[in-house]
Structure 1
Amino acid sequence: KGSVILFTWTNFLLDDSYSFLGLENPLIISKDTNRKDSALDSRAIQDIASYDRLLPVILEYNKQAIKLDFDKSFFPCQVCFGEKLGSQCIKFLDCDHVYCKSCMRDYFNVQINEGNVKGLICPYDKCETQAHPCQVQELVNQEVFAKYDRMLLMTSLDQMVDVVYCPRPACQYPVSVDKESNFGNCPSCRYVFCILCQLVYHGLSPCKIKSDGLQKLRDEYNNADEKTKKLLEKRYGKQTIEAAVAECLTKDWLDQFSKTCPSCGASIQKIDGCNKMTCMKCRAHFCWLCEEYLPRNNPYSHYNTLNSPCRNKLFEGVNEFDDEDDLMWM
């Protein structure tokens, strides 16, 4: 106030400097440094190596100025509610929420040690802004950051549809594959495998199914829509899927209606008669109730012995029975 000269220069710099210097845009400086124009002051021309690098330099200087201003200001931490100097705080880049470094250091360490690398988000309610890796590196020690960096890489690879892992347990190296092919070749251990069934590459032959995957395949096929069923049939072969479904149905039926012979392991179905069973395969005797092996010379003693769990249960659960055991060997 009262400074006439300073006021005049301030207005000139704000309103007339661009036209006076012959600049059409404040961020674009003309490359024509040899033009003879009386309206252009020679002091407005800078001799720089590359005009293309001028804008990044200006933006970087602006970033540093903002950081310097941030470090000198005070901010309330949204976690501990203490007022801290900006140099003791971090600001999430996308949402501008500010927290003290002490609170965020504890927060980052807990999330990383629990394996939740995607959980390093702004603690503000309903905010989903992720912490930048450089902010994480600034707050945690080298060992924790190495763990974070490794898990972040693994998470990123898991989200890539054209990357799978080598199925060898001792390798697990990420392998880039072609979307149109089932062929995978590990660059680390040179293992050539099928990316669908994880077994040795079998060319155009249908994928082989492991015994413990039959139930899963049957459930997936039965619950799938027509499009998914076609994909499964193309992957495993229609005959393979039908055989898997039939085998699983047979296994379910055997688990529900049959018992295993304790001598040879054959599946036995009881149709009628008493609980003393005779295996038609190995002719061994066993009890239908407790599946205990019965002696050949006197199998019925099992139902007469005082300490036997099946005492007096020879005909338990039988409404109508014959003198001979009726059974079926599966």
Structure 2
Amino acid sequence: EPGAPPQPHQGRIPRRLRPSRPPRPSSLFRPQDCPICLEGIASAAEAYRNANCEHVYHRACFTQHVETRVCDGMVAALTCPLCPRAITAEEVEELVDEETWQKYQRFRRDLDIAMDEGRRHCPTPGCSGVILRPGKRCQQVKAWSAYVVMGALL
């Protein structure tokens, strides 16, 4: 009715629902326990959050998890410790040192070659070349006519 006092919530946002100011990133961090070491994560600076699954760990614990998997050659099954979400190459590169990153790239390359019927490792000892398809050969190979892998003719 005209002249009547406005009813609460009519045409305006109640004060308790209005944000006082935008939250700062540091205020978005909730202290919690790391699922790897079970110790508390005290600050956002020591936390690592997976991009897709949102699980949070100590950065050092998650880095150790990734380094261990890479050093064991388990790059095909490199996942979050709590769920099946794959850890991306970008995440690996961000977390590990240069030596571990190089190992990751070698293992990943070897896995990709093993999964591709059109590529093989060069059989020349010490050569890291790849034969791209039948009929092609690595420049290091002097004379051979078929794929030879681990002593087997393919």
TM-score norm. by structure 1 comes to 0.34
Partner-residue secondary structure (3-state), 2:145: strand
CA distance in 1, matches of 2:109, 2:96: 18
CA distance in 1, matches of 2:125, 2:50: 39
| 2:34 is aligned with 1:77 | yes
Partner-residue secondary structure (3-state), 2:136: strand
Aligned to 1:183: 135
Report the alpha carbon displacement of residue 95 of structure 1 after superposing the two structures with TM.
2.3
Partner-residue secondary structure (3-state), 1:96: coil
Supply the AA of the counterpart residue of 1:94: N
Supply the AA of the counterpart residue of 1:108: V
Structure with larger Rg? 1
Structure 1 segment 112-261 matched on structure 2, within 5 A: 112-124=70-82, 127-177=83-133, 182-186=134-138, 188-191=139-142, 192-195=144-147, 198=148
Report the alpha carbon displacement of residue 72 of structure 1 after superposing the two structures with TM.
4.2
Structure 1 segment 8-19 matched on structure 2, within 5 A: none
Report the alpha carbon displacement of residue 168 of structure 1 after superposing the two structures with TM.
1.7
Name the % identity.
20
Is the 8 Å Cα contact of residues 185 and 193 (structure 1) preserved in structure 2? no
CA distance in 2, matches of 1:71, 1:161: 52
Report the alpha carbon displacement of residue 69 of structure 1 after superposing the two structures with TM.
4.0
Cα RMSD (Å) of the superposition?
Answer: 3.4
CA distance in 1, matches of 2:101, 2:145: 34
CA distance in 2, matches of 1:168, 1:71: 58
Which blocks of at least 5 consecutive residues in structure 2 are unaligned? Answer: 1-8, 14-23
Which blocks of at least 5 consecutive residues in structure 1 are unaligned? Answer: 9-67, 200-211, 214-234, 236-330
- Structure 1, residues 122-143: CA drift from partner, whole Å, max 9, x if none? 111xx22221222222222111
CA distance in 2, matches of 1:170, 1:135: 31
Report the alpha carbon displacement of residue 101 of structure 1 after superposing the two structures with TM.
0.8
| Cα separation, partners in 2 of 1:98 and 1:168, compared to 1, 3 Å | same
TM-score norm. by structure 2 comes to 0.66
CA distance in 2, matches of 1:70, 1:142: 30
Number of matched residues? 133
Supply the AA of the counterpart residue of 2:145: F
| 2:86 is aligned with 1:86 | no
Partner-residue secondary structure (3-state), 1:136: helix
Report the alpha carbon displacement of residue 170 of structure 1 after superposing the two structures with TM.
3.0
Supply the AA of the counterpart residue of 1:121: T
Aligned to 1:104: 62
Report the alpha carbon displacement of residue 172 of structure 1 after superposing the two structures with TM.
4.1
Supply the AA of the counterpart residue of 1:83: G
| Cα separation, partners in 2 of 1:91 and 1:193, compared to 1, 3 Å | farther
Aligned to 2:16: none
Greater share of helix residues, 1 or 2? 1
Supply the AA of the counterpart residue of 2:47: C
Report the alpha carbon displacement of residue 104 of structure 1 after superposing the two structures with TM.
1.1
Report the alpha carbon displacement of residue 174 of structure 1 after superposing the two structures with TM.
0.9
CA distance in 2, matches of 1:145, 1:167: 25
Report the alpha carbon displacement of residue 118 of structure 1 after superposing the two structures with TM.
2.6
Structure 1 segment 287-302 matched on structure 2, within 5 A: none
